[in-house]
A and B are shown apart, each in its own frame.
Chain A
Amino acid sequence: MRVSTMGMNSQVMTQALKVQSEYSEALNQQSSGTKSSSLSGLDGQAGVALSLQSDIARSENLVTQAKAASSELEVAYSTLSSVTDLAESLRVSISSALDGSVTDPDSIKSEAASALESLTSLLNTKYADKYIFSGTESNTAPVDLSDADYDPLSGVADTDYYQGSSCERCLMIDSDTAIEYGITADDAAIEEVMRALSMLANMDTSTDVSDTLSETYDMLGDAATNVGLLQEEISNQVTTLENLVTAQTEFQDYAEAAYDSLTKVDVATATTEVSQIEAQLQASFAALGTVTSLSVLDYL
């Protein structure tokens, strides 16, 4: 086959340039660690890569929210422990009064009044600047004993002290699932503690208070048990959230690995490829050198 000088030169040069561009591409892969900066260089997997990316972002967000909810629940849990402590310590005082070792009911009255104050401030606990017992109305303090409708002495359950929302906070998992979490201050157990304390704080000590004492003793005992159940509910909620966090974290690990396998190059492979292309490029340049230095004039 006949070749022309320009044809041969330009062909050898084009080949060398082609190898050079492959070399630069391989170097880019080696230095950046990614297959290609363009989505068209992911072997048709761009959609999967993007889906994974957004799945990871959503999962991370879910984990952040679940963790925040979980810490809030832990604060609620320990607050409820204090509520139980309050109830229990009053029960000790009441039982002392009932068995006659304490004779001054006024001391119980004042103890109950201060316990009511403590209870109010416990339930109005803020975490991260949010009232945690108000349901979805986290800017509103849940308990206001001075509410005009509130009458704890009526003898029936009354939650009119409660200012928060009847709706619980919730965490969106997917289009069909939302986890509701948190405890609101209008829960029956809390109302009962509140009512018992109010009854004690408002009792008329000039009369026989033993009925009130034994009634509130039972109420507080019952309420303490129910607060314990509330705490159990919180524990369950925390466990659910923790399981969610674990599952999501595992998913993220899997998704990140899958994402990396789609978009990243194996460093060892990339390095080997660079040296292979480098050798090829040297050969191309050598060919170019031979073509340009070879002349028939040297032999005529």
Chain B
Amino acid sequence: MSISSILSTGTSALSVAQVRISVASTNISNANTEGYTAKSVDVTTRTVGGVGTGVQVIGSGSDVDDHLFESVVEATTKASYDSTIAAYYESILSAFGSTDDGSELSEALTEIETALSAAIADPDSASAQKDVIEALENWASTVNSVSDTIQATRTTADSAISEAVETANDLLHTVDDLNEQIVVAQAKGEDTSDLEDSRRTAVKELSQYVDVQYFTTSTGEMQIYTSSGKALLTSSVKELSYSASGTLTSEQTYQSDGSGSISGITVNGADLTDDLDGGEIGALIKMRDETLPELEEELANLSDTVMDAMNAISNLSTQDPPPNSVTSAGNYAAADAFSGTGSMSIVTTDSDGNVTASSDIDLSSCSTIQDVLDAVNGVSGVSASLNSDGQLVISADDSNSGIVISGDGTAGTDSKGVSHYFGFNDLLNGGVGDLAVPDSVSTNGLPMATITSTTVGDEAYVSGDTSGLQDIWSTLDSSMDFKASGNLSATQTTANTYLTNLIDDLADRSESAANTAKTSSSTQDSLSTSFVNETGVNVDEETILLTTYQQDYEAASQILTTAQAMWDSIMSMMK
């Protein structure tokens, strides 16, 4: 054992202490860096010929529980998915109503009944009739505006998808860059733990958007796949490509066979939309393609059923006095096919509402709209034609006469009454989004009275009769047949109850989505916290270590001082 070996041992202790102090300082300075894991230095005894000659660093790095991190990634995907779903539910729920203001749709329905009952009590009042028309218009515009909000929310989801896809691509590139650096460093035998920290942070962020699985190859390269196994990053990034469709309408849908007008999210031309079912992107796709269209369908079912029920009744009634001409709601071409059974009575009335002429048309003999036109034109004193919009117009030749359409005839596949089929006396027409009150309602007035007779000389209806309006009122207050739609099953109930069921179901789903989001967010919180606690820096621990290393350093210096003193005493001995 020589003095120089003591010197060398002391030096090795000094340098190890320096390395350790340096690592501890880095740890302390990164104590609050996101994703940073605490590093430690591995040392071993340096031996020469079996004799210890000091200490040496064999490496440094951090101890990371990869399984725990995988759980964090999974929990992050789920939390992000759930919170996006919850946020969209809450936002769309507010379009249907709030606790303070109630539901506009329900108010609009009630308003129709209120206005109708006022008109029934006083049918002669022009303002009461106007109120009914306004209430119908208000219902139409409320339904349309809720539908607009649903579509606007779909549009928001759609553009959010495009932003999320962009962010996901950026993150894939970040991981790819880090992969390259790690592979090179690992080949050189350098420490890659800091690079891995950054890569882990990027993967965790990516998992917010996409449900991913990943593994690391022996060269240190990380490969990323979707949960269904489609590659997103292997040796290079498989970029996701998506362009938002602009303002969406209810007709615009995504179809996995590519037939829809909303394009899919693709990788090199292959549609991956159905594979991206997790994370924020998965939630946005679900909202855009499933939840919101379902709601639109439920709203349409409500609106169509109410419209149909009201029109079916209003077409059994006539205005007081009957109008000189009636116009169909639908548009036709002369060659359009027509199928009907029974007969349609074309009745003309004088100014007192007495029947002046009445002819029955056999609908089973008509197979096209032209046949109907010809049959009606065959009735004297009455003309039928298609106007420039293709609407079927039936008018009395005498400008003082009124036209009443009656009869037991039915038409179309669902066997509607013939007047209902053509919509001569409709109160509402169009579908959700373009629901409207036809102009004829304001020009001809409301269908007030039920048709009592088609016999010439009789009164076609009783003047002052409001049973037409009463029947419409009763229809609104009675059970209607609602078919199954969206999340709601087929049911027989009143319009208002169907609406409250619809909103109740939406509110329940929103509440449960919020609870799910809360749970998954706290799961994610607790897993992330475990991971950070296990791998992160504890400043107090590092401070104590720092003090210990400082003492190590001082002790090592003492070794050198001692060796120096020994050397000095030998030198002085030799003088």
CA gap between A38 and B500 in the complex, in Å: 15
Is B94 located at the chain interface by the 8 A CB criterion?
Answer: yes
**Chain B's interface: helix, strand, loop or mixed, by majority?**
helix
Is B537 located at the chain interface by the 8 A CB criterion?
Answer: yes
B464 touches A50 (CB 8 A): no
Known pairs A40-B514, A135-B464, A297-B543; A130 contacts B533 (CB<8 A): no
CA gap between A134 and B464 in the complex, in Å: 10
Chain B 92-119, CB-CB to A under 8 Å as 1, else 0, gives: 0110111110110011011001101110
User: Which residue on B lies nearest to A60, using beta carbons?
Assistant: B114
B496 touches A167 (CB 8 A): no
Is A247 located at the chain interface by the 8 A CB criterion?
Answer: no
User: Which residue on A lies nearest to B89, using beta carbons?
Assistant: A40
Return chain B residues, CB-CB under 8 Å to A57.
Answer: 107, 110, 114
Is B304 located at the chain interface by the 8 A CB criterion?
Answer: no
Partner of A40, one of B120, B464, B507: B507
A298 to chain B, nearest CB (A): 11
Return chain B residues, CB-CB under 8 Å to A174.
Answer: 477
Partner of B533, one of A8, A140, A167: A8
Chain B 413-430, CB-CB to A under 8 Å as 1, else 0, gives: 000000000000000000
Partner of B99, one of A49, A58, A61, A136: A49
Is A231 located at the chain interface by the 8 A CB criterion?
Answer: no
B463 touches A4 (CB 8 A): no
Count the A residues whose beta carbon is within 8 Å of the partner chain — how many? 63
Chain B 466-480, CB-CB to A under 8 Å as 1, else 0, gives: 100010011101100
Is A156 located at the chain interface by the 8 A CB criterion?
Answer: no
CA gap between A4 and B538 in the complex, in Å: 4
Is A6 located at the chain interface by the 8 A CB criterion?
Answer: yes
Is B540 located at the chain interface by the 8 A CB criterion?
Answer: yes
User: Which residue on A lies nearest to B543, using beta carbons?
Assistant: A296
Return chain B residues, CB-CB under 8 Å to A169.
Answer: 120-122
Is B190 located at the chain interface by the 8 A CB criterion?
Answer: no
CA gap between A99 and B448 in the complex, in Å: 55
Interface size class of B (residues with CB under 8 A): 35 or more
Is B492 located at the chain interface by the 8 A CB criterion?
Answer: no
B31 touches A6 (CB 8 A): yes
B500 touches A47 (CB 8 A): yes
Return chain B residues, CB-CB under 8 Å to A295.
Answer: 539-540, 543
Binding site for A on B (CB under 8 A): 31-32, 38, 89-90, 93-94, 96-100, 102-103, 106-107, 109-110, 113-114, 116-118, 120-125, 462-466, 470, 473-475, 477-478, 496-497, 499-501, 503-508, 510-511, 514, 525, 529, 532-540, 543-544, 547
A-B contact pairs, 16 of them (CB 8 A): A5-B540, A6-B31, A7-B529, A37-B100, A44-B511, A47-B500, A54-B102, A136-B464, A137-B124, A138-B122, A138-B123, A138-B124, A172-B117, A172-B120, A172-B473, A300-B543
Binding site for B on A (CB under 8 A): 1-11, 14, 34-44, 46-51, 53-54, 57-58, 61-62, 65, 68-69, 130, 134-140, 164-167, 169-172, 174-176, 178, 263, 295-297, 300
